[in-house]
Amino acid sequence: MRVLGIETSCDETAAAVLENGDRLLSNVIWSQHEVHGKYGGIVPELAGRRHVETVHLVIEEALRQADVTLEDIDLIGVTNGPGLVVSLLVGVNTAKALGYACNLPVVGINHLEGHLLAIMLQEPVAFPFLALIVSGGHTDLVRADAVGDYKVIGRTRDDAAGESFDKVAKMLGLGYPGGPLIERAGREGNAAAFDFPRSMMENGNLDFSFSGLKSAVRRLLEKYEAEARTPSTADVAASFQEAAVDVLVAKLFQAAERENLKRLVLTGGVAANGRLRQRLQAESEERGYECFIPRPVFCTDNAAMIAAAAYNKYRNHSVSSDVLTLDASSNLAF
Ligand code: KG4
Ligand code: ZN
């Protein structure tokens, strides 16, 4: 079974072809970072327009790299939420048009479920497991009991983890998207230079809050500015990253203990962060947990994960084709 995955929920136009759930034939990602970079964040209208311009080229390229045509495709999976509605609509309408024209089933996939099942592209993780989805829009702790059977047991009350990386990077004048830039800038820094707060760490509370951490960085920068000094960007980036990583890792283990789950999955754009990956792997080993982290290219937005989710859901009948009425929803529930 060959699945064409399409993802346009944010600022990546992506298409992928996946064979039998685990053979990735192509994975094309056209990032719009250069479009939004100068604004320091995503401009929805520009994102939607760029998706319209590129989505067919990206799909054609994915088919070309996979050495197939639409006639070789059996199923189309497309992200239908959550995300920017002007972006989502481009992927959804393209998928519906292709499905209608080629008589193919089309299934809508929740972007977060794509992140959750991205690990299946690499290895079939057995259920149940506990996942931490850390992206630009979400910080969710999810208990996964089966494909399609998920329970969110913790989430952020304010900024998402990735959002805090992006905002701190902007304050430091590093650019957009901030996550990889903070990681790079912090590489030479001292992670203990500044003692930033680790919020909501008390046992039993599985929610997150990152706005206090962001504000602490802002106050530090303002204090230095008032004294006509500049702190080392490397030290601020490294200290901020360490505080964020401390909270993410600690909460994941708290949740795992509470749910009595020994398999952990870390996923979403922030899971591309080297320090976070390294800390989780080391602590999992120390504490006797199994931890699974997709390769960085499957952590940040991509269509391979959407194809994987479509394949797994369609096969176990937890989603049905909706060529005519599928719609995009900016706040699609998980
Ligand atoms: O999953 P994703 O690509 O898109 C959303 O669904 O939001 O996540 C994007 C987020 C951005 O906030 C970006 O700064 C962050 O993931 N990110 C990182 C890294 N790479 C991407 N954060 C920390 N370290 C990284 N290496
Ligand atoms: Zn994402």
Assess if residue 151 is contained within a domain: yes
The residue-averaged pLDDT of 52-65 equals 98
The residue-averaged pLDDT of 200-204 equals 81
Question: Does any ligand 1 atom lie closer than 6 A to the CB of residue 300?
Answer: yes
Across 269-297, b (16+ Cβ under 10 Å) vs e yields bbbbbebbbebbeebbeeeebebbbbeee
CATH label of the domain that carries residue 229:
3.30.420.40
Within this chain, do residues 185 and 289 fall inside the same structural domain, yes or no? yes
- 110 CA to middle of ligand 2, Å? 10
Within this chain, do residues 35 and 132 fall inside the same structural domain, yes or no? no
Which ligand 1 atom sits closest to the C-alpha of 241? 23
Which ligand 1 atom sits closest to the C-alpha of 115? 1
Assess if residue 100 is contained within a domain: yes
Domains held by the chain: number = 2
Within this chain, do residues 56 and 152 fall inside the same structural domain, yes or no? no
Q: Containing domain of residue 249, as a range? A: 125-293
Assess if residue 329 is contained within a domain: no
Assess if residue 332 is contained within a domain: no
> Cα separation of 139 and 21, whole Å?
26
Question: Does any ligand 1 atom lie closer than 6 A to the CB of residue 165?
Answer: yes
Within this chain, do residues 25 and 141 fall inside the same structural domain, yes or no? no
Assess if residue 234 is contained within a domain: yes
Model confidence pLDDT, tens digit, residues 138-168: 999 999 999 999 999 999 999 999 999 999 9
Provide the mean pLDDT of the chain.
Answer: 97
Within this chain, do residues 150 and 284 fall inside the same structural domain, yes or no? yes
Within this chain, do residues 60 and 145 fall inside the same structural domain, yes or no? no
| 185 in Cβ contact with 234 (< 8 Å) | yes
Assess if residue 255 is contained within a domain: yes
pTM of the shown model: 0.97
